[in-house]
Amino acid sequence: MDSSPIVAITCNVANPILGKDSFQEIDITGISMPITKYNFIVKDVRELAGVLRRAFRIARSGRPGPVLVDITKDVTAAVTDYEAVLPAAEALRPLPAEEKIEEALALLKAAKKPCIMAGGGVILSNAAEALTAFAHRLDAPVCCTLMGQGAFDQNDPLYTGMVGMHGTKTSNYTVSDCDLLVVVGARFSDRVAGSPKQFAAKAKILQIDIDEAEVNKNIHVAASLVGDAAALLTCLTEKLPAQRHADWVTEIQARKERFPLQIGEGTHGAARDSGAGSAHAGRCDHCDRGRTAPDVGGAALCVPQPENLSHERRSRHHGLRPRCGHRRADGEAGQRGRECRGRRLLPHEYE
């Protein structure tokens, strides 16, 4: 799941013939159970309103996810009294124990080459501003996963680009060379981590996530904080003295200059790493305020590239802001619908 809050409402056969392999009957709750956060089957019309309220609350709370509500045919035809109820305020999740906070602070203070990897959880928790404040307090470069694109200002000097198979050389080198990797709201997918045993092999990993099931699931971490990303980043920023890693940041800036992003003429206008050229080559000056909904595969990977993405996607309510028309600097329309050719190396593949 990519933590999208969705409520799917389906209908089934009537109660008396439910579970008897009736005509057009399907066990939709059983089929969808592996891919949903929660499932309901409503057999009494008096329970329908309450179930729907719970469904929307579950879909949006904690780590968002899909919820399915299956309603039998006779319930859809039944009549009952309805009483409006105001939605209950969502309870804030308490911060972890003070010992866990101190353990995380000790890792942050001891780090000489820290790096932050931001995932979609930063956007879902509206933690973009908290992430920016934390990154500058820690004085650490920031890379983003595909789901985290837009969580950090791409014009910020600390930003290194997307990480993983389709990420930048700067980001992947940084993850490979850092001694502390702070992962916020990301799930270490195979497109990012590649080989788990070789991912960030030189680093201790501090994981911040709303879902405790994600901790140590794909990658073993040195410490973890389970809770809301915005609240935890704010807490760490307040408790952490300002850090300075001038040599490390200078090294990252030099690497960004060595591998700037530019539009490759041989890749249908796709952004690529290069040893020369402007980091802003091929960008358009006009910013389209529309929203982009790409197809899967190569099209989705082209959208967050730097010649398309403008500034920040500050929260779950903002989509990616594309630049106008997918055009190259010479004005010729680029063929952005095609899949970008070739691939970038994963962090562990750099020698």
* pLDDT tens readout for residues 68-122: 999 999 999 999 999 998 887 777 788 999 999 999 999 999 999 999 999 999 9
CA dist 54 to 27, 36, 41, 207, Å? 21, 14, 12, 30
CA atoms of 272 and 251, how far apart (whole Å): 21
pLDDT, tens digit, for every residue of 41-51? 999 999 999 99
With contact defined as beta carbons under 8 Å apart, do 150 and 132 qualify? no
pLDDT tens figures, 3-24: 889 999 999 999 988 888 888 8
Q: Residue written as tokens 């009294």?
A: 81
Provide the residue type at 225 as one letter.
L
Give the pLDDT of residue 313: 53
pLDDT at position 66 is 95
Residue bearing the bigger pLDDT, 314 or 216? 216
Closest CA to 56 of 30, 90, 27, 82: 90
Helices 128-138/229-239 angle, 10° precision: 30
Asked whether the predicted pLDDT for residue 57 surpasses 80, the reply is yes
Structure tokens at 345: 């190396």
Average pLDDT for the chain: 80
How many angstroms from the chain centroid is the CA of residue 238?
A: 24
Closest CA to 25 of 36, 35, 16, 34: 16
- Convert 190-221 to b/e letters by CB count within 10 Å (16 or more is b): eebbbeeeebbeebbbbbbbbbeebbeeebeb
Q: What's the pLDDT tens digit per position in 300-337?
A: 666 666 545 544 555 555 544 433 333 333 333 333 33
List Cα–Cα distances, 40 to 48, 55, 336, in angstroms. Answer: 10, 8, 41
Share of the chain above pLDDT 70, in %: 74
Q: What's residue 93's pLDDT? A: 82
Ramachandran region, residue 298 (left: φ > 0; alpha: ψ -120 to 50; beta: rest): alpha
| Alpha-carbon dihedral angle through residues 57, 63, 64, 67, given to the nearest 10 degrees | -70
Q: What is the pLDDT of residue 349?
A: 53
Q: Give the tens place of pLDDT for each residue, 113-148.
A: 999 999 999 999 999 999 999 999 999 999 999 889
Q: Which residues of 266-301 are buried (b: 16+ CB within 10 A; e: fewer)?
A: ebbbbbbbbeeeeeebbbbeeeeeeebebeeebbeb
DSSP state of 134: H
pLDDT of the residue at 293 = 63
Q: Is the pLDDT of residue 265 over 60?
A: no
The CA-atom distances, in angstroms, between 346 and each of 163, 170, 190, 215, 287 are 8, 11, 10, 22, 31
pLDDT of residue 347: 53
Handedness of CA 248, 253, 254, 256 (dihedral sign): positive
In this prediction, residue 176 has a pLDDT band, given cuts at 50, 70 and 90, of very high
> Cβ(178)–Cβ(249) under 8 Å?
no
pLDDT of 341 > 70? The answer is no
Q: Could you tell me the pLDDT band of residue 292, with boundaries at 50, 70 and 90? A: low
User: Rg of the chain over CA atoms, in angstroms?
Assistant: 23
Max CA distance (Å), the chain: 73
CB 305 within 8 A of CB 150: no
d(CA 227, CA 93): 6
How much is the pTM?
0.75
- Candidates 153, 170, 151, 316; CA nearest to 233 is 151
What pLDDT, on the 0 to 100 scale, is given for residue 304? 64
- Look at residue 266 and tell me whether its pLDDT is greater than 50: no
For position 281, what pLDDT does the model report? 35
The predicted structure's pLDDT at residue 326: 34
| Average of per-residue pLDDT across 264-277 | 45
Helices (H), the chain: 28-32, 48-60, 73-77, 98-110, 120-124, 128-138, 169-177, 190-193, 229-239, 246-258, 298-302
Least confident of 22-31, 52-61, 69-78, 254-263: 254-263
Quick one: pLDDT at residue 320?
46
